[in-house]
Structure 1
Amino acid sequence: MANRTPNIDASTDQLKSDLEHLTNTLEELVNATADDSRSNIKEMRQRAEQRLKDTRANLEARGERLYGNARDNVREQADACDKYVHANPWTSIGIGAGVGVVIGMLIGRR
């Protein structure tokens, strides 16, 4: 789990960089609009649209990657739990019964 933190930090840094580039491009577009030069506005608009498409694609890719990592992590944990229950059935039954008693007592106090 310690090796995942650098990946998250790198992803966060990349996201910040993408958003900064998008902001800069949009600021250039606003500044170009003030000149009212039609060719300049068209060029800046195309750059802004391309930057927006790139940023959106990057965000979607990161979201899919994070979802996949979370799904894999949950699957690994579920598999480990399943193996433990199969290896130690009586211990698992005892833990389940103990948790049931505690929950029953908590509900009974209401």
Structure 2
Amino acid sequence: MASRTPRTDASTEQLKADLEHLTQTLEELVGATADDSRSNIKQLREKAEQRLQETRHRLEARGERLYSEARDSVRDQVDSCDRYVHDNPWTSVGIGAAVGVVIGLLIGRR
């Protein structure tokens, strides 16, 4: 399992804080509806909607950033593999042949 980076920990903590903040606002809204104070409900509803939109935008931005980072990481790994194969063609052929033999043996055992 990959180790967590400080940036990942900070992102996780920010996500927890966002969700706790949103939960608190929604709990206030639920509590206010028991009051049946129309102006109070309207204000809390607007506050909850605003926090929900803010949280949604933050989560979307984080998701896009994580997707971009993962895509870049995979691209770098593919480039490294491609360079290795071009730099060591016979080693790559040997590895491919060995993997083929192992797969053949495993399939043949059935």
Calculate the TM-score normalised by the size of structure 2: 0.95
Identity across matched positions, percent: 75
The one-letter code sitting in structure 2 at the alignment partner of 1:73 is: S
**Counterpart Cα distance in 2 of 1:55 and 1:24:** 13
Aligned to 2:109: 109
Runs of at least 5 residues in structure 2 that lack an aligned partner in the other structure = none
Aligned to 1:60: 60
Runs of at least 5 residues in structure 1 that lack an aligned partner in the other structure = none
Aligned to 1:7: 7
**Deviation by residue 1:28-71 (Cα, 9 ceiling, x = unmatched):** 11111111111110000000000111111111111111111111
- Kindly report which structure 2 residues correspond to 1:16-35, keeping only aligned pairs within 5 A, or say none: 16-35=16-35
Aligned-residue CA RMSD in angstroms? 1.3
Number of equivalences: 109
* 1:7 shift after superposition: 1.1
Aligned to 1:95: 95
**Structure 1 segments of 4 or more deviating over 6 A?**
none
